[in-house]
Amino acid sequence: MEGLGPRILHQAGYPVRRDNLHDKHWKPLLERAGLPDIRFHDLRHTCATLLLTKGVHPKIVSEMLGYSSIAITLDTYSHVIPGMQEAAARAMEDALGE
């Protein structure tokens, strides 16, 4: 299984089939929780968004998601980083002594 990337494994150690995970576990979990039918992959977006809005550095989030470059994270999620423009303006003011 080397080179296949992250996988969800069955207790016996073999990969769980995607359709089985979705139909037998994911959908029933969402239904029990009263949540809408979202894609399992949306958990990655939720994770990234929550971490970034809590101030976790984008490089760390990028590594957690397994992206090869921080640019992917910044291109995708920079709109959710709170106060990014304001922080940059304050940093420039501080640097110039204003």
Q: What is the pLDDT of residues 25-81, one digit of tens each?
A: 889 999 999 989 888 888 889 999 999 988 899 999 999 998 889 999 999 888 888
Structure tokens at 21: 């995970």
Does 87 score more than 50 pLDDT? yes
Closest to 74 (Cα-Cα) out of 48, 50, 47? 48
For residues 7 and 5, the model is more confident at: 7
Q: Is the pLDDT of residue 4 over 60?
A: no
pLDDT the model gives residue 1: 45
End-to-end CA distance of the chain: 57
Domain edges within the chain = 1-39, 41-96
At residue 50, φ and ψ (nearest 5 deg) are -60, -45
Q: Of the candidates 75, 72, 71, 79, which has an alpha carbon nearest to the alpha carbon of residue 52?
A: 79
Question: What is the C-alpha separation between 58 and 73, in angstroms, rounded?
Answer: 7
